[in-house]
Structure 1
Amino acid sequence: MTTVAPTPASGDLPGWRHFYSGKVRDLYVPVGATDLGDAPAVLVVASDRVSAFDHLLEPGIPDKGALLTRLSRWWFERLPVANHLLSSGSGADPAVPAVPASVADRSMLVKSLDMFPIECVVRGYLVGSGWLEYQESGTVCGVPLPAGLASGDRLPEPIYTPAFKAELGDHDENITFERTVELVGEATATALRDLSLSIFGAASEIAEERGVILADTKFEFGADRVTGEITLADEVLTSDSSRYWDRHTYDGGNRTDSFDKQIVRNWLLDNWNKEGTPPTLPTEVVEQTAGRYRELLERLTS
């Protein structure tokens, strides 16, 4: 099995200072920058860490960071919207250190944005928490849907169900479109919704051409600090932020076999009561999960 990549310390990345770590990604700013606001660039390093049910698990998934980074870069190149990627080649800003070779395959050099506190979720199929809500009320995040739908059914049209991004350790909160207007203003809220639905539509067509269904996903956006342009940020359309299905498998009646860490979730549900420290993941679960991440990348990009 490939070794899980360690989280680099600031001293391991010449010219960069560790700024923040989330569950999966680590952020670094150039030495001398005091905050994201004055950083000429940010280095986003995707780790091999894996989380489920709000817990970090052991061990990580080998090559996960590199696989998800490659997929994000591939999508950024194909989506018709401004994104936060910066060039790390010749002619780059001299105030920005070079990307260290040790993390080059799992990092993105990006511009710092004024991030909107909205997770822009788009759902094209009735699944997950949406299916549970639909059975109770006929809605998904308060959006009314036609009667008679079954689990995994394609929705008449994709729906936008935003969430408020919680502080680290808290749960994101599903909110209405009207609430997003209160948070960011009507023009920005409308632009975020329309951009999200447009990107989802374009990405769904690309995936379908490769025999893959994009069931749902989430996007994050920020405002360019110079121009104010709404810019796509964070990871995009990866196995961690999206639910993908194999078209052939779906048509055969299997609507649960997704290209993500569902294998991990299923094993935990069978072997853990969600109390205390989660058990160590067995080797076969780790290898199967890594295989699903790798298979999706190959299916989409080859």
Structure 2
Amino acid sequence: MGHALAIIGLGKIVRDQHLPALAGCESLTLAATVDPVAPPLPGIPHFTSTGALLDAGIVLDAAAICTPPQMRAALALPLLARGIGVFLEKPPAAGMAQAALLANAASASGATLFAAWHSRMAAGVEPARQWLAGRAIEQVTIIWREDVRQWHPGQPWIWQAGGMGVFDPGINALSILTAILPDAVMLEGAQLEVPGNCQTPIAAQLALRSANGVPIRADFDFRQEGEQTWRIRVDTDAGPLLLDNGGAVLTLPGAAPAAAPDTEYPALYRRFAELLDAGTSDFDLAPLALVADAFLLGEAVRVDDFYE
């Protein structure tokens, strides 16, 4: 039967991605769900709080936390203290201090801790990393623009402190960036466009630089209508590399675009099962650190109120 797993939070991303992926993973078995509002799944024990789940005595090896980011750390800490492995939807926490607490808790108990950067599992990302490893990189341009009304309908938490606003999708681009470049990345500055009635940005422009001096520009926007744009262009001495559709489509110089079906979440759960088997963790915080720095170093500019 594999590892017994609970899912905490039964929102849109869980129903769209996690449940289908988990159903196809032989190494993990859904043992329980937790959500104070959402209805239970047929035949699966359901609880309205993590405390109630733990008090019920259900044997668990792991839990996937898929709530809004503001509450992930508080939910994960008691699980880690009991040695239960934790899979964290992105971002793994609402801040770097919270993330550090989680890392320390996992280390103390020996529990597996997994920061699940799903966009790194897109089909073009690993081939892009391998191709770039032998090239001189000249500059990187990221355009990540989508319609918040389509992808986050009725989700006010995203506009509240800790919800990250446009960085909720933008951090996916940063997770790819930090995976494919051969050296570390730092933020030099940012402009954050914050609606007058929100606490988080609806758009952001970032200026970054790699440790080797490569300039990187990122344009994130939640106001895109029509065709959605998730593109990373890396200019090199051998020509431009393009990652489109969130990393699913890779175009190398002189070659036709290479696409593959979306298998990001099945790959995440396979990776989590491998970590549980090995008793190890995978908790990279580089994308979260860049977002945290954007809030620290960025200039906030007020723009028109946002209404869904």
TM-score range, shorter chain: under 0.3
- Report the TM-score when normalising by structure 2: 0.27
- Report the TM-score when normalising by structure 1: 0.27
